[in-house]
Amino acid sequence: MTEYKGKAKFKAYLSGAGEALRRCVAALEGALYPTEITCDICLSELRTRGRYRVCANCLEELPYVGDKRCLNCGAPMSDEGDYCNRCQNTESSFKLCRAPFEYRDLAVRMIHDLKFGGKQYMAETLAAFMADEFLKDGMSAEIVCFVPMAPKEEKKRGFNQAELLAREIAERLNMPLLPALVKRKDTTEQKALSARDRAKNLEGAYECVVSQVKKRSVLLVDDVFTTGATSNECAKALLKAGAREVSVLTAAITRQKMSFEQDDRLVSDDKK
């Protein structure tokens, strides 16, 4: 009898633990993927569900890249002309780059929420704008891939934000997602370097490890485009593996009115 009671107690304990675990998982899911309809940015209640899960106020405040932008990298420009200083002075391996937002204000907040704030649902929000930018600008591609992180860096963060964005974009644009690239070199010491040294340090850091990119047009996804060094190196690796061309799509891009050498202050922004 005692033994039976003990068993029942143990069973009750187990089911209790199961219930606690279930609640814990539900709470975690709720935190990561909220189900009530609120603005993903300011969390105010949304009365209707529009194209984006963002309220009218935030939609208006978002720092969209205007029409005045570099024909190559898509950076917003203050001066007249077709190409920004960076693209005039350095050659790009990618065909073109586009981003819906300039990297400031609300766009910085959204990207920081995604990378450091535990709000992984922000990948879905940003990807909605990015996919629309892709379609709006008449970009084309056959395969989606993303800028990889060094294994050590990714383990520390627990995820790669570029991969989360790429996954959502591939789904929206109905294209296959391919983890084509790996980062061979740990460039975490990168932050302290000047833009020029940084580009040099990145040389050969990425490698394409799949053959499916051969003769294909590839869309490379990343969160922020700053100096362009990362996108350039990844594009080089993809072209080396036989890709026909590489286009880049990021959530945000920094305003490029300065030359590559003067770009150093931007480096501290990039926590990658």
Tell me the closest approach of the beta carbon of residue 103 to Zn ion, in angstroms: 14
Candidates 58, 62, 173, 209; binder of Zn ion (CB under 5 A) is 58
Looking at residues 35 to 54 of the shown chain, list those that interact with Zn ion (rule: CB under 5 A): 39, 41-42
- Residue that the structure tokens 């963002």 belong to: 54
Q: Which residues in the 145-174 window bind Zn ion by CB under 5 A?
A: none
Helix (H/G/I), strand (E/B), else coil: 182: strand
Q: Which of residues 62-81 bind Zn ion (CB under 5 A)?
A: 70, 72-73, 75
**Minimum CB distance to Zn ion smaller for 60 or for 189:** 60
Residue burial 26-53, b: 16+ Cβ < 10 Å; e: rest:
eeeeeeeeeeeeebbbeeeebeeeeebb
Residue placing its CB nearer to Zn ion in the complex, 102 or 163: 102
Q: For residues 79 and 88, what is the distance between their CA atoms, to the nearest angstrom?
A: 13
Smallest separation (angstroms) from Zn ion to the CB of 52: 10
| Residue 181, φ and ψ in degrees, nearest 5 | -110, 150
d(Cα 215, Cα 94) in Å, to the nearest integer?
15
Stretch 80-119: interaction string toward Zn ion, x if CB under 5 A:
----x--x--------------------------------
Q: What's at 101, amino acid-wise?
A: F
Which of 52, 53, 55, 219 binds Zn ion (CB under 5 A)? It is 55
Neighbours of 155 (CB within 10 A): 10
Residue 232 CA to residue 186 CA, distance in Å, equals 17
Which residues of the chain form contacts with Zn ion (CB under 5 A)? 39, 41-42, 55, 58, 70, 72-73, 75, 84, 87
